[in-house]
């Protein structure tokens, strides 16, 4: 059960999303930056702990992939939860700066690093 970093948890993914695997918005990508909307609204009482954790974690700006890693949940699952929170107006999507790429040396370094893992 605990081999190779696989960690079992009694609460299964389909319960967290009510069985939905497809986010309501298809624009969410692992690198999409998110930030909690701080307008003083509280989450409804039926919201689960994961939603609350997501909002709390997202007080600053985080990428979807980072959120997923912090919560130890698959990215595609967090996308569903985040999507709902964005729909509810609790999270805001920040546009991703795609044109401002780091220089090639860094990317090569990253690639080498990944290959060397």
Partner 1 sequence: MSTTTPARPPATGRVLPWLCVAGMVLCVAALPLVGASAPPWGVGVLGVAAVVLPVTAAVLLSRASRRDAAAFRALSVERDGLAAGLHETTQALRETTAALTAEQEARADQRAAVETAVVALSRKVQASAHRIQEEAARMVQRHAADPDVLQTSMRIDHAAAQHARQAQSLVALCGRRPGQTWEDALPLPDVVKAAAGRITAFQRVEVSGDPGLAVVGRAAEPLVHVVAELLANATQCSPPNTQVLVVIRQVQRGAVIEIDDCGVGMDPRELGRVRAIAAGERSVGIAELGEVPQTGLAVVGTYARFLDLRVDLTESVYGGMRAVVMVPGDLTEVAATAPTVLAPSVDDAWAATPAREPASTGAVPPVAADRPPAGPPVLPQRRSRRGAADGPLTVGRGQPQTNRPERPTHDQTAEEAGAWIGAFFAATADAPSQDDPDTHEPSVATDGTSEDR
Restricting to residues 27-46, name those near partner 1 by CB under 8 A. Answer: 27-31, 33, 35, 45-46
Q: Which is nearer to partner 1, 40 or 97 (CB)?
A: 97
Q: Are 71 and 83 in contact (CB under 8 A)?
A: no
Binding flag, residue 22, partner 1 (CB under 8 A): yes
| Least separation in angstroms between CB 42 and partner 1 | 13
Binding mask 42-81 for partner 1 (x = CB under 8 A): ---xx-xxx-xx--xxxxxxxx-xx-xxxxxxxxxx-xx-
| Least separation in angstroms between CB 98 and partner 1 | 5
| CA neighbor of 56 nearest in space, from 46, 67, 65, 64 | 67
**CA angle (31, 93, 111) in 5-degree steps:** 10
* Residues with Cβ within 8 Å of residue 37, at least 6 apart in sequence: 89, 90, 91, 92
């Amino acid at each position: 059960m605990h081999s190779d970093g696989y960690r079992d948890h009694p609460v299964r993914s389909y319960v967290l999303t009510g069985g939905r695997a497809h986010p309501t918005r298809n624009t969410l990508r692992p690198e999409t930056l998110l930030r909690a909307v701080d307008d003083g609204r509280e989450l409804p009482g039926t919201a689960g702990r994961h939603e609350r954790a997501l909002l709390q974690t997202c007080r600053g700006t985080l990428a979807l992939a980072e959120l997923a890693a912090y919560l130890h949940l698959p990215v595609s699952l967090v996308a569903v939860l985040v999507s709902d929170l964005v729909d509810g107006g609790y999270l805001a999507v920040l546009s991703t700066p795609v044109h401002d790429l780091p220089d090639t040396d860094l990317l090569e370094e990253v690639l080498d690093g990944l290959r060397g893992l």
